[in-house]
Amino acid sequence: MPERFDVTVHPARELRGTVTAQPSKNYTTRYLIAAALSEGTTRVRGVATSDDRHALQECLEVWGARFTAEGPDLLVEGFGGQPRSGQTLNPHNAGAVARFLMALAALTSRTDFVTDHPDSLGRRPHGDLLDALAQLGARVQSDSGRLPVRIEGPVQGEAVRVRASASSQYTSGLIFLAPLLEQGLEIHLEGDIKSPGPLRQTLHTLEVFGVRTEANADLRRIRVPGGQRYRAAEVTVPGDYPGSAALLAAAAIRPGEVTVRNLLEHDLQGEREAVEVLQAMGADLRRDGDAITVRGGRPLRALRRDGDRFTDAVQALTAAAASAQGETTWENVATLRLKECDRISDTRTELLRLGLEARETESSLSVIGTDRLEGGITADGHGDHRMIMMLSLLALRAERPITITGAEHIRKSYPDFFGHLRRLGAQVEVHPRQET
């Protein structure tokens, strides 16, 4: 694949075949961080090959971790509780990486954070995390809570308050930090708690690496005893539900039969709910162990759901909703405005340009499904992998092909997405683009 490219996705009469889900983005991030915080060597089996994984690896190498690739596995030699001070980290466009490492930067006397994605990660807010670190005694400098950021530690634990309504990643970062502080940390989450799924994935990761945590059932208070160590482990990255939700939704809106393998039934990824949402829309999805098979082409009906429970699958499910009869609404999705693009307004813009009816409020997104979608336009991928997946799905069911600009951003989480679509029979043309 060229460095930068647009794609033209053609209408597909049917989709048919089997693919193995790509490795989970969120678990790859967590396992590599916990491995780096361990002393000794961790084997991470089946690690993601995405841009975000490489961004994280690069940052952790700067801090002193060593990585050896062995086929699909990654061996990680950690730096324990002591990342190297005085370094500059560039998490590129990876939000979770940036936030988790900013929290851990409190272990250093100074770490600077920059990004080469000023229009995406450069616009995303980190102020709530920086406030929490300042409560613990860190000195922080930032551009109004945005990158570039400087963090100077060390910090002292005990208790901290963090606003949980813009992103769960701030809290997850503090959870990673907590066991390495002498007194541990009692974390009080304030405001609406968004993205509970990833928070539970973080707590689970600490457990896997031998760290004790205690959390209230509602996650309002999380306590991590101090003076603990991460213990090197052997871990396997499970299949990725957010990316697979796009394949499942594609299969639901086209005739044919598609199986996605390696999607664990008991998994903490909130986007697992995409399976149930598609079923509730009327799609024919069946689970057989870790494989999900979709027999596509059944009529779909609209529904109303709390989209925060499956935040990274909302775009894929919006593409399915655009084929459903009636108006589908995703409620409680205000945080979508703070992702790689504004996934509410920018989605609405693209849907309207495609001739669909869509509405938004501050915290919701609605789309009215249609039987017929003309296509034949160039749509803006908004530099956002999840928008690119949504637009690709719309193209598969349109009358005429849709060209999506900036399609290289798919690599952020799902480098094989177009390969997987092709394997299922879709026609995808790649157009290399020269930057002006």
Closest to 215 (Cα-Cα) out of 176, 186, 245: 186
Pick 167 or 366: Cβ nearer ligand S3P: 167
Interface with ligand PEP (CB under 6 A)? 25, 94-96, 312, 339-340, 386, 413
Collapsing DSSP to helix, strand or coil, 227 comes out as coil
CA distance 386 to 337: 13
Determine contact, residues 362/334, Cβ cutoff 8 Å: yes
- Chain-centre distance of CA 276, in angstroms? 19
Q: Is 218 a catalytic residue?
A: no
CB of residue 430 to ligand S3P, shortest distance in Å? 25
Task: Answer positive or negative: Cα dihedral of 207, 196, 282, 388.
Answer: negative
Catalytic residue among 51, 52, 128, 312: 312
Per partner kind, with CB cut-offs from 5 to 8 A, the member of ligand S3P, ligand PEP, none near residue 195 is ligand S3P
Per partner kind, with CB cut-offs from 5 to 8 A, the member of ligand PEP, ligand S3P, none near residue 335 is ligand S3P
Per partner kind, with CB cut-offs from 5 to 8 A, the member of ligand S3P, ligand PEP, none near residue 42 is none
Task: Answer positive or negative: Cα dihedral of 205, 210, 215, 220.
Answer: negative
CA distances from 182 to 179, 202, 222, 329, 392 (A): 8, 20, 16, 46, 49
Pick 348 or 412: Cβ nearer ligand PEP: 412
Per partner kind, with CB cut-offs from 5 to 8 A, the member of ligand S3P, ligand PEP, none near residue 57 is none
Interface with ligand S3P (CB under 6 A)? 26, 29, 96, 167-169, 172, 194-195, 198, 311-312, 335
Task: Please report the beta strands in 144-297, taking only residues with DSSP state E, as ranges in sequence order.
Answer: 146-152, 158-163, 185-190, 214-215, 221-224, 230-231, 234-236, 256-261, 284-288, 291-296
CA distances from 66 to 41, 43, 78, 96, 382 (A): 9, 12, 7, 21, 34
CB of residue 39 to ligand PEP, shortest distance in Å? 27
Per partner kind, with CB cut-offs from 5 to 8 A, the member of ligand PEP, ligand S3P, none near residue 386 is ligand PEP
CA distance 266 to 244: 16
Pick 6 or 312: Cβ nearer ligand PEP: 312
CA distance 389 to 410: 8
Determine contact, residues 217/193, Cβ cutoff 8 Å: no
CA distance 366 to 329: 4
CB of residue 60 to ligand PEP, shortest distance in Å? 15
Q: Is 339 labelled as part of a ligand binding site?
A: yes
State residue 351 phi and psi, 5-degree precision: -65, -45
Closest CB to ligand PEP: residue number: 95
Pick 184 or 241: Cβ nearer ligand PEP: 241
CA distance 228 to 233: 15
Pick 46 or 197: Cβ nearer ligand S3P: 197
Q: Is 412 labelled as part of a ligand binding site?
A: yes
Pick 256 or 381: Cβ nearer ligand PEP: 381
Q: Is 194 labelled as part of a ligand binding site?
A: no
Per partner kind, with CB cut-offs from 5 to 8 A, the member of ligand PEP, ligand S3P, none near residue 328 is none
Which residues are marked as active site? 312
Annotated binding site for phosphoenolpyruvate: 25, 95, 124, 169, 343, 386, 412
Q: Which residue ranges are tagged as binding site?
A: 25, 30, 95, 124, 167-169, 195, 312, 339, 343, 386, 412
Query: Which residue ranges are tagged as binding site for 3-phosphoshikimate?
Result: 25, 30, 167-169, 195, 312, 339
